[in-house]
Amino acid sequence: MGRRPRPEIKERLLEACTDHALDQGLPDRLEPLARAAGTSARMLIYHFGTRDALLSAVLERARQQQLATFGELLRVRPDEPYTVTLARAWAFMTGPDGKPYLRMFGQLRENAAQRLWPGFRRVATTDWLGPLEDGLRGIDRPELATLVLAVIRGLLMDLEATADRGRADRAFAQFLSTLA
C-alpha cells in the first residue's frame, strides 16, 4: 500500500515554491523549485501531480497574496483623500515589495505560461475595478476606475520596459493631480 500525501507537507512545499518563484520568476524546469523547497522534483510531482499543476498552484498562491496586499493598499481610508491612497499604493507596487508580483504575472502575459491560467489577463484586470470604484467614490468619481486602472497598467508596462522609475513616478503624480 502506497503512502498518502500529507497536506501539511504539500502546503510547506507550495509556500517554498511560491517564495522562490516570486524571487526568481517562474522556472522552466522543476529542479530550481525542488532545490528551493529542499526536496526532489519527484516529490513535487508526487504532491502536485504535474509540473503545470504545481506552477498553477504557485500562481494561485502568489495571486492570493497579491490581492490581499494590494487590496489593503487600495482600501478606502476615511481620514485621507483617495489620491493619497493611490500614491502610496503606486509606491508599493513599483517598489521592491511589489516588483516580484509584477514580474511573475508579467510572465503570464508574455509567454507560454498563459496556458497555466487561461483568462488570467481578464481576471487580473477586473479584480481591481471594484476596489478602485470604492475608493473613487470618495471623490465622487467611481466611473474613473477603468481609466485609473489603465493608467496604472500602462505606467507599469512603461516602467518594466524602460526602468525609468523617476519618469513613471512623475507621470503618475501628474495623473493624480488631475483627479484631485
Single-letter amino acid code for the residue at 179:
L
Cβ-in-10-Å burial (0-12, 13-18, 19+) of 43 comes to: middle
- pTM beyond 0.85: no
Residue 157: inside a domain = yes
- Interatomic CA distance for residues 176 and 88, integer angstroms: 11
Distances from the Cα of 4 to the Cα of 37, 43, 46, angstroms: 19, 12, 10
The CATH number assigned to the domain holding 72 equals 1.10.357.10
Range of the domain at 171: 7-179
CB-side neighbour CA atoms (13 Å) of 168: 20
Confidence of residue 102 (pLDDT cuts 50, 70, 90): confident
Residue 143: inside a domain = yes
Residue 102: inside a domain = yes
Residue 1: inside a domain = no
CB-side neighbour CA atoms (13 Å) of 178: 9
Residue 95: inside a domain = yes
Residue 2: inside a domain = no
Tell me what pLDDT residue 124 has: 80
Q: How many structural domains is the chain composed of?
A: 1
